[in-house]
């Protein structure tokens, strides 16, 4: 994908990363070119300077001044070098008297800076630049000829920089090509890396938008070759879990609305039916009237309990659920709940037995009404879901630093796959028993606020057992 077609994180990543890499590579290429040029020119300069020094010292050893000048001119005229070096003899006046290069006219001025510097310092000097006559880039090295401490002219070495410049340009081109190849590799590597991040994020974003639009339960597909064992993988798992949870919550809400609608309709139908029957005088027998009034009262109580559960749930949801904590006797509260339900269950053919323990527990800090609400709700659930077993057992006993309370029925139990969900609000699972599906969620909230735990499991031999553990001394 071209850089100009990218957008968002991908574009910012590529621009920032490639911009930094390009700057570094540019600095490396410039530095490499500078070092290479310096090495080439320094090597040529030192080579010519060494040669000039040797030649100048050799010629300066002649016996007389005229012999020294004659020897210099003779050496220049006989000079031949395969490296394209031109040797000149320059007089003290700065005039080329003799040259090994036939195109240089004798008597022409040697007006480059190295000549002037050598004349003033009596040392070997060099100069690089363009030849005033030809415009060609040259390197010029001038070495004074000193005879008995007096200059008698100088040897001037001139060589073209064309080959050196060409080699430097070639080396610079190679460096640019290598830098371009590195930049290309980094571009594609970064493009692949960024796409491995951006593509899953784009996919996850699309799924999140679909979830927000109402497609609950939809999952982000994870292919076997994705290898998302990183933060992207964690995000994918989190989105999938969220989607599943939302779908479950929506399903439970729908089931709750359907269940509550049914639960409300049934008692209201009974109440309306008997009320109209009694009001219209269709039932004149006193026993039937009492029976109808009893049904109306019973269904009204059931409606009241259902509304209370809904109010409790509402308080939990908006944070208005509170406890009235005071010292309380946990055994007495459990026994009151058992006593309340024993006769009621007996009328339905269910035996409710309670096993006490000899140990006396210190008063707990808790809300007696809320805990009694938990016991009654659990006993009611035991009768509702396990009443076919015709038996319910309760027990209280110490367990480490806690007091444990168990309520067991002998019904069909809870399907294994539903056990992890039964305490969720609105969850009813495969149960056909009447209820709103929020009773256990309220019980769990109350026990948790007492720093205790509430667990449900299937008991050995059949049935379901609920265990409440409350810490002693809290």
User: How far separated are the first and last CA of the chain, in Å rounded?
Assistant: 65
In a domain, 157, yes or no: yes
The pLDDT confidence band at residue 474, using thresholds 50, 70 and 90, is low
| Paired strand residues for 392 | 352, 409
What's residue 2's pLDDT?
A: 53
Least confident of 17-21, 314-318, 366-370, 429-433: 429-433
What's the rounded mean pLDDT across residues 41-52?
A: 90
Domain boundary among 263, 292, 318: 318
**Dihedral over Cα of 441, 446, 451, 452: its sign:** negative
SS3 state at 344: helix
Is 108 a domain residue? yes
Please tell me whether residues 272 and 397 are part of one structural domain.
Answer: no
Alpha-carbon distances, residue 175 vs 28, 168, 172 (angstroms): 9, 10, 5
- Structural contact between residues 283 and 277, judged by C-beta atoms closer than 8 angstroms: yes
Cβ neighbors of 263 (< 8 A, separation 6 or more) are: 306, 434, 435, 436
Q: What is the mean pLDDT of the chain?
A: 82
- Taking alpha carbons only, the member of 386, 440, 431, 378 closest to residue 407 is 378
Give the Cα separation of 199 and 211 in Å (integer): 18
Q: What percent of the chain has pLDDT over 90?
A: 19
On whether both 368 and 464 belong to a single domain, the answer is yes
Average of pLDDT values for 37-44? 91
Domain count, the chain: 3
Q: How far apart are CA 416 and CA 437, in angstroms?
A: 18
SS3 label, residue 435: coil
Contact by Cβ (8 Å): 453, 470: no
Residue 270's domain spans which residues?
231-318
How much of the chain, in percent, has pLDDT values that exceed 70?
86
Q: Which of the listed residues 166, 191, 222 is the one where a domain comes to its end?
A: 166
Residues 246, 361 share a domain: no
Model confidence over 412-454: pLDDT tens digits?
A: 888 888 777 677 655 555 555 555 567 788 888 889 889 999 9
Q: Do 299 and 342 belong to one domain?
A: no
Query: According to the model, what pLDDT value does residue 111 have?
Result: 79
Distance CA 47, CA 41 (A): 10
Q: Of the given ranges (80-84, 392-396, 397-401, 402-406), which has the lowest mean pLDDT?
A: 80-84
Asked if residue 178 belongs to a domain, the reply is no
> Is the overall model pTM greater than 0.85, yes or no?
no
Per-residue pLDDT tens over the stretch 203-244: 888 888 888 887 778 887 776 555 556 677 778 888 888 888
Residue 332 has pLDDT above 80, yes or no: yes
Which band of pLDDT confidence, cut at 50, 70 and 90, is reported for residue 460? confident
Bridge partners of 129, per DSSP, are 138
For residue 395, pLDDT beyond 90: yes
């Amino acid at each position: 994908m071209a850089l100009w077609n990218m957008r968002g994180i991908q574009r910012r990543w590529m621009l920032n990363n490639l911009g930094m890499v390009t700057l570094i590579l540019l600095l490396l290429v410039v530095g490499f070119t500078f070092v290479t040029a310096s090495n080439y020119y320094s090597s040529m300069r030192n080579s010519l300077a060494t040669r000039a020094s040797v030649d100048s010292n050799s010629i300066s050893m002649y016996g007389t001044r005229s012999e020294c000048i004659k020897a210099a001119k003779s050496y220049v005229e006989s000079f031949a070098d395969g490296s394209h070096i031109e040797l000149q003899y320059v007089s003290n006046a700065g005039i080329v008297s003799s040259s090994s290069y036939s195109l240089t006219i004798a008597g022409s001025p040697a007006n480059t800076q190295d000549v002037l510097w050598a004349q003033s310092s009596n040392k070997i000097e060099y100069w690089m630049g363009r030849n005033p006559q030809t415009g060609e880039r040259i390197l010029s090295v001038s070495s004074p000829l000193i005879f008995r401490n007096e200059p008698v002219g100088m040897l001037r070495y001139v060589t073209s920089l064309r080959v050196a410049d060409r080699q430097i340009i070639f080396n610079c081109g190679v460096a640019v090509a290598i830098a371009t190849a590195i930049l290309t590799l980094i571009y594609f590597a970064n493009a692949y890396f960024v796409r491995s991040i951006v593509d899953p994020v784009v996919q996850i974003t699309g799924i999140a938008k679909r979830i927000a639009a109402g497609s609950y339960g939809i999952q982000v597909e994870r292919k076997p070759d994705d290898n998302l064992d990183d933060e992207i993988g964690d995000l994918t798992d989190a989105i999938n879990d969220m989607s599943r949870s939302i779908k479950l919550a929506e399903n439970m809400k729908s089931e709750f609305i359907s269940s509550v609608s049914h639960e409300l309709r049934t008692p209201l139908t009974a109440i309306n039916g008997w009320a109209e029957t009694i009001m219209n005088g269709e039932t004149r027998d006193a026993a039937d009237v009492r029976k109808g009034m009893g049904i109306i009262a019973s269904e009204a109580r059931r409606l009241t309990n259902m509304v209370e559960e809904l109010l409790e749930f509402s308080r939990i949801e908006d944070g208005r659920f509170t406890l009235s904590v005071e010292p309380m006797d946990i055994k007495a509260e459990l026994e009151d709940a058992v006593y309340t339900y024993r006769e009621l269950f007996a009328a339905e053919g269910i035996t409710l037995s309670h096993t006490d323990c000899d140990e006396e527990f210190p008063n707990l800090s808790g809300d007696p009404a809320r805990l009694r609400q938990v016991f009654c709700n659990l006993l009611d659930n035991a009768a509702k879901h396990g009443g076919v077993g015709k038996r319910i057992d309760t027990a209280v006993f110490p367990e480490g630093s806690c007091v444990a309370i168990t309520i067991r029925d002998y019904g069909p139990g809870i399907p294994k796959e539903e056990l992890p969900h039964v305490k969720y609000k609105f969850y009813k699972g495969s149960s056909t028993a009447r209820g709103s599906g929020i009773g256990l969620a309220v019980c769990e909230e109350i026990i948790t606020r007492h720093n205790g735990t509430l667990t449900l499991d299937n008991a050995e031999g059949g049935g379901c057992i609920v265990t409440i553990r409350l810490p002693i001394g809290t």
